[in-house]
């Protein structure tokens, strides 16, 4: 078996084990409000921690990315569509990149 196939089998096994473990351990409903709220908010916190650094370093210049992020926050605050939020971020970052 070559090394790539061994790596794929190992990753598949570990991924399956990680998903199977909570099902096997928590057979009954979780009654603790603290644990349930922790489990509810964890995916949002992890998503933010994973994406925010990628956003800041996406253009190669942290200041252009920061300007695009601020430009995205403003229409998002006023509940504009996702297309308008993303478009404003891209346009501002591109303008800053072209000017500076």
pLDDT tens track for 15-65 = 998 888 878 887 788 888 998 888 888 888 888 888 999 998 988 899 999
Q: Is 80 domain-assigned?
A: yes
The domain total for the chain is: 1
Report d(CA 97, CA 72) in Å as an integer.
16
Report the helix count and the strand count for the chain, using DSSP H and E: 4, 0
The pair of structure tokens assigned to 59 is: 């253009």
Q: Is 50 domain-assigned?
A: yes
Report d(CA 15, CA 36) in Å as an integer.
23
Report d(CA 54, CA 59) in Å as an integer.
9
What tens digit of pLDDT does each residue of 55-94 get? 989 888 999 999 999 999 999 999 999 999 999 999 999 9
> Quick one: which of 64, 56, 84 has its CA closest to 72?
84
Show the domain range for 53.
31-99
Q: Is 71 domain-assigned?
A: yes
């Amino acid at each position: 078996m070559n090394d790539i196939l061994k790596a794929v089998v190992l990753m598949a096994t570990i991924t399956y084990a990680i998903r199977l473990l909570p099902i096997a351990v928590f057979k009954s409903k979780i009654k603790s409000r603290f644990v349930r709220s922790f489990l509810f908010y964890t995916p949002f916190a992890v998503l933010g921690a994973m994406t925010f650094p990628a956003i800041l370093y996406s253009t190669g210049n942290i200041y252009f990315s920061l300007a695009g992020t601020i430009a995205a926050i403003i229409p998002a605050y006023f509940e504009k569509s996702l297309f308008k939020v993303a478009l404003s971020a891209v346009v501002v970052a591109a303008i800053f990149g072209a000017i500076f």
